[in-house]
Amino acid sequence: MLEKLEIEYEKAILIGLITQNQDEEKAREYLDELEFLTYTAGGEVIKRFIQKMQKPNPKTFIGTGKLDEVRAYVEANDIGTVIFDDELSPAQQKNIEKILNCKIIDRTNLILDIFAQRAQTSYASTQVELAQYEYLLPRLAGMWTHLERQRGGIGMRGPGETEIETDRRIVRDRISLLKEKLKTIDKQMAIQRGNRGALVRVALVGYTNVGKSTLMNVISKSEVFAENKLFATLDTTVRKVVIGNLPFLLTDTVGFIRKLPTQLVESFKSTLDEVREADLLLHVVDISHPNFEDHIASVHQTLDEIGGKDKPMLM
């Protein structure tokens, strides 16, 4: 008889803000997405905290009174991880860590961590590692000095896990090395794209977890990895497809998400080149999702940022 494996999830709490630029409905919607991100990374959300403020506190993101409330809950319930729904400044992260005395992660770090888990090839791993080091560099001063960095878990994968006292010079050297490595790979990828001939290129784009890989499998009769978790696909997959005697190349690309870290956009330049160089974009949308219109807007915004907004598109 097979034993049922029990997955041990990290207990985490989420923190979001209602501001003049983000109403309560939007704040709760973002926290829903953050909870799915947390689950994808291996965490279990125990509680959410939301505070209404004009703008984030520059020192502690949320107000000191709310932070005391969070600290009391963390201590009473043995919470090891607190996740914020926006990117924290290095100073905010350091201040919050001192008060809560637990692992503090922001949305950017969480997404980078998921990418680190999902990277299956050397190319994807290099891109993710570069993005993580770019994120880490301004946060080195005093980062995690009062915590056991070695314990791993969410936000601890990738660089930093074994280099607790890494200084800026070493990180900058590593960033330079990774950029050079990516330049070499990018050239190879560009040559590969150029060798595909004159076939029409169609790229699947869309919000993360809307079913791009599943659609890819149906159209191309292949078996691209698909899973009901965020960012199941990191590496670009290209398949030759023939429909009605019309051959074309179909590309599955990494999914987009709101508040996509700029480090990832930069690091995944070559992967996103598949979108920029496509003849046609096939925008996959899950209209059963209550926020599908926001997802469409996020995809359009990201396409604008990477220079792909003027491509012919079918939805």
Residue 175 lies in a domain: no
Which of these three, 151, 167, 186, is where a domain ends?
Answer: 151
Residue 168 lies in a domain: no
Judgement on whether residues 14 and 145 belong to the same structural domain of the protein: yes
Judgement on whether residues 143 and 248 belong to the same structural domain of the protein: no
Residue 123 lies in a domain: yes
This prediction has a pTM of 0.77
Residue 275 lies in a domain: yes
Number of structural domains the chain divides into: 2
Residue 91 lies in a domain: yes
43, pLDDT greater than 50: yes
Judgement on whether residues 304 and 234 belong to the same structural domain of the protein: yes
Judgement on whether residues 290 and 213 belong to the same structural domain of the protein: yes
Worst-scoring range by mean pLDDT, 27-36, 191-200, 239-248? 191-200
Contacts 24+ apart (CB under 8 A), 191-200: 193/273, 193/274, 193/277, 196/238, 196/249, 199/240, 199/247, 199/248, 199/249, 200/246, 200/247, 200/248, 200/249, 200/279, 200/280
Judgement on whether residues 113 and 201 belong to the same structural domain of the protein: no
67, pLDDT greater than 90: yes
Tell me what pLDDT residue 59 has: 93
What is the pLDDT averaged over residues 183-200?
Answer: 73
For 248-268, what is each residue's pLDDT tens digit? Answer: 888 887 778 887 777 777 766
Residue 97 lies in a domain: yes
Judgement on whether residues 89 and 216 belong to the same structural domain of the protein: no
Judgement on whether residues 142 and 14 belong to the same structural domain of the protein: yes
Tell me what pLDDT residue 15 has: 95
CATH number, domain containing residue 136: 3.40.50.11060
Judgement on whether residues 18 and 109 belong to the same structural domain of the protein: yes
Judgement on whether residues 139 and 220 belong to the same structural domain of the protein: no
Which of these three, 151, 179, 206, is where a domain ends?
Answer: 151
The pair of structure tokens assigned to 254 is 């990494």
Which has the closest alpha carbon to 272: 293, 199, 281, 180? Answer: 281
What is the pLDDT averaged over residues 176-189?
Answer: 83
Judgement on whether residues 144 and 212 belong to the same structural domain of the protein: no
For 213-233, what is each residue's pLDDT tens digit? Answer: 788 888 877 665 445 444 555
Judgement on whether residues 207 and 280 belong to the same structural domain of the protein: yes
Q: How far is CA 283 from CA 217, 270, 289, in A?
A: 16, 20, 15
Tell me what pLDDT residue 206 has: 87
Judgement on whether residues 126 and 39 belong to the same structural domain of the protein: yes
- Give percent of the chain above pLDDT 90: 18
Residue 169 lies in a domain: no
Domain ranges, residue 207: 196-314
16, pLDDT greater than 60: yes
The DSSP line for 196-239 is TTT-EEEEEEEBTTSSHHHHHHHHHT------SSTT---S-EEE
Residue 187 lies in a domain: no
Where residue 111 falls among pLDDT bands split at 50, 70, 90? confident
Which of these three, 135, 151, 167, is where a domain ends?
Answer: 151
Tell me what pLDDT residue 3 has: 44
